[in-house]
């Protein structure tokens, strides 16, 4: 579905209107931002093996543009000085300080990284590498907003889950157009959104569990 087709779909749902294109586009942006705040994010927002560059004697990486959060498992890895790929364990900042910084003089451990912490705009690793280094990060990233697309272009939401996005945006639009008169339209868009979002959540769950070995009491 293109941006123009998404607008036309919502116009049709609003009693075959031909106006409000600007407002509909804003509603599409708002709906996408809302969807990307969810706890279960879809696979098509994943950036795999995003390369991050680090400098010698500095354990700080800049969080990539559009970053939402890491994927759930084995998100951040480095190549050790022995040439082995090591997946880092996530910690909180306090535990990292406690375990990798000398409390007597503040000296921070150096060597191949073992753990990481995600902060507001950076990722911190410990121990701190003593040579130039790179890391690989699997993470969820914000998709291009509809308003930034050309009329005939699409983004990942409009390609992979178009009816989730357009029906949520349609609900927002219908709510803004004289509520009482548009109540049937609100309910229509809400039903369509709920139906399509349930399908998307099922797809996310299925992709996460397919071919994964299940161990009693845990997930491997």
Give average pLDDT by consecutive 10-residue segment, the chain, 220 residues.
Answer: 98 93 97 91 95 96 94 90 93 94 92 95 96 95 98 98 96 79 79 90 77 51
> Residues 121, 54: one domain?
yes
- Do 169 and 62 form a contact (C-beta atoms < 8 A)? no
The answer to whether residues 203 and 154 belong to one domain is: yes
Same domain, 117 and 71: yes
What local confidence, expressed as pLDDT, does residue 212 receive?
A: 54
Q: Which domain holds residue 87?
A: 43-140
> In this predicted model, what pLDDT tens digit does every residue of 12-27 receive, in sequence order?
999 899 999 999 999 9
Tell me, what DSSP letter sits at residue 117?
E
* Residue 220 within any structural domain of the chain: no
- For the chain, the domain total comes to 2
Residues 6+ apart with CB under 8 A from 66: 141, 142
d(CA 219, CA 72): 12
User: Helices 179-209 & 162-176, crossing angle to 10 degrees?
Assistant: 160
Contact 212, 220 (CB under 8 A): yes
Same domain, 186 and 103: no
For the record, the structure tokens of 33 come out as 């931002």
Same domain for 134 and 175, yes or no, is no
- Whether 148 and 52 have beta carbons less than 8 Å apart is answered as no
Report which secondary-structure segment, H or E, holds 27: helix 21-35
Report residue 28 as tokens.
């599409």
Q: What is the pLDDT of residue 220?
A: 44
Question: Does residue 47 form part of some domain?
Answer: yes
What local confidence, expressed as pLDDT, does residue 186 receive? 84
Stated length of the chain = 220
Nearest residue to 123 via CA among 47, 70, 167, 48: 70
Which residues are within 8 A (CB) of 121 and not within 5 positions of it... i.e. 6 or more apart? 62, 63
Determine, yes or no, domain membership for 118: yes
The tokens for 161 are 């889950």
Using DSSP's 3-state secondary structure scheme, residue 139 falls into: strand
Last residue of a domain, one of 91, 111, 140: 140
Written as six digits, the tokens of 178 are 């004289």
Whether residues 118 and 102 fall in one domain:
yes
Measured between its terminal Cα atoms, the distance across the chain in Å is 37
Cβ atoms of 189 and 171 closer than 8 Å: yes
Domain presence at residue 67:
yes
Answer yes or no: do 78 and 151 share one domain: no
Q: Specify whether 56 is located in the same domain as 113.
A: yes
pLDDT value of residue 209: 66
């Amino acid at each position: 579905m293109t941006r123009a087709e998404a607008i036309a779909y919502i116009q049709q749902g609003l009693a075959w209107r031909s106006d409000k294109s600007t407002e509909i586009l804003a509603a599409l942006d708002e709906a996408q931002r809302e969807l990307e705040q969810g706890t279960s994010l879809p696979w098509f927002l994943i950036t795999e093996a995003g390369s991050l560059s680090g400098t010698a004697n500095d354990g700080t990486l800049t969080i990539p543009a559009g970053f939402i959060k890491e994927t759930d498992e084995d998100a951040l890895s480095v190549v050790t000085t022995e040439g082995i790929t090591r997946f880092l364990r996530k910690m909180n900042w306090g535990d990292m300080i406690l375990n990798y910084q000398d409390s007597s003089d503040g000296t921070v451990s150096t060597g191949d990284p073992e753990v990481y912490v995600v902060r507001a705009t950076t990722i911190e690793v410990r121990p701190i590498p003593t040579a130039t280094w790179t890391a690989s990060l699997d993470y969820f990233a914000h998709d291009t907003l509809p308003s930034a697309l050309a009329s005939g272009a699409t983004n990942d939401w409009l390609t992979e889950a178009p009816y989730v996005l357009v029906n949520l945006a349609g609900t927002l639009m219908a709510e803004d157009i004289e509520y009482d008169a548009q109540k049937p339209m609100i309910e229509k868009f809400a039903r369509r959104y709920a139906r399509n979002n349930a399908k998307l959540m099922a797809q996310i769950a299925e992709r996460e569990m397919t071919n994964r070995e299940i161990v009693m009491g845990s997930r491997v």
